[in-house]
């Protein structure tokens, strides 16, 4: 079951924008992050939730999508995410967040997948602009944004070629292909 869930948990970047996600759903997803591992159990992560169109519109312009898809600048009108979870690090707890936010993000996205939702971790963020838009105090470092919604695209996993081309791509039918390196190539000892 965990392999099935992880396989279905792909990065989705096109959504049914009209689909609503309740704030309570986002709270339940953050609760999965709350229960996850944290270095020294410091639990320095904080979260901002957004699920209404007005707040979503403050976040969307400050995110960069799918750098390998040249000529596609991100979700179009009607394809934008229904919700976001902004993951912050509280610098008054620690200045080093290690991989806590990656673990939290994966827990949240697995929970979203289990519910029939999908999303994408976004690390390419215009941080100063997002900080201003959401009025995020400087004590919080902006670590990741999770975009969430009802996926409107098909994403498949391919086996990366021996040459090791790992760039994802979209075929003529709009299916998004994600090459993954073979198991024997990544276990080196
Ligand atoms: C830390 C991190 C940051 C990422 N940042 C972005 C981003 O800024 N924009 C984007 O479109 N995808 C982003 N991604 C998604 C990756 O592109 C995606 O995980 C990769 O293409 C593999 O696809 P998969 O998640 O379906 O396995 C990020 C993923 C991770 C783990």
CA of 22 to the centre of ligand 1 (A): 24
| Candidate from 11, 125, 142, 186 with most ligand 1 atoms within 8 A of CB, to mutate | 11
pLDDT of residue 149: 98
**Which of 87, 121, 186 has most ligand 1 atoms within 8 Å of CB, for mutation?**
121
- Torsion sign, CA atoms 158, 187, 184, 36: negative
Burial 99-129 (b: 16+ CB within 10 A, else e): ebbebbbbbbbbbbbeeebbbbbbeebeeee
Residue 165: DSSP 8-state: -
What is the tens place of the pLDDT at every residue in 3-56?
999 999 999 999 999 999 999 999 999 999 999 999 999 999 999 999 999 999
Tell me the CA–centroid distance for residue 66 and ligand 1, in Å. 8
Q: How far is the CA of 5 from the centre of ligand 1 (A)?
A: 17
pLDDT at 161: 86
Q: Which residues of the chain have pLDDT under 50?
A: none
């Amino acid at each position: 079951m965990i392999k099935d869930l992880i396989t279905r948990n792909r990065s989705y970047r096109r959504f049914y924008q009209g689909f609503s996600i309740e704030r309570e759903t986002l709270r339940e997803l953050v609760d999965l992050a709350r229960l996850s591992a944290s270095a020294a159990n410091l639990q320095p992560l904080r979260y901002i939730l957004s699920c209404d169109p007005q707040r979503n519109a403050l976040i969307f312009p400050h995110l960069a999508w799918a750098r390998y898809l040249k000529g596609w600048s991100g979700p179009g009108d009607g394809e934008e995410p229904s919700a976001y979870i902004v993951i912050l690090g509280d610098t008054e707890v620690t200045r080093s967040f290690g991989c806590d936010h990656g673990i939290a993000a994966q827990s949240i996205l697995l929970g979203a997948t289990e519910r029939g939702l999908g999303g994408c971790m976004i690390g390419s963020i215009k941080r100063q602009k997002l900080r201003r838009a959401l009025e995020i105090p400087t004590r919080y470092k902006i670590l990741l944004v999770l975009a969430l919604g009802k996926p409107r695209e098909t994403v498949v996993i391919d086996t990366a070629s021996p040459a090791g081309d790992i760039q994802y791509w979209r075929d003529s039918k709009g299916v998004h292909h994600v090459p993954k390196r073979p198991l024997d190539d990544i276990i080196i000892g």
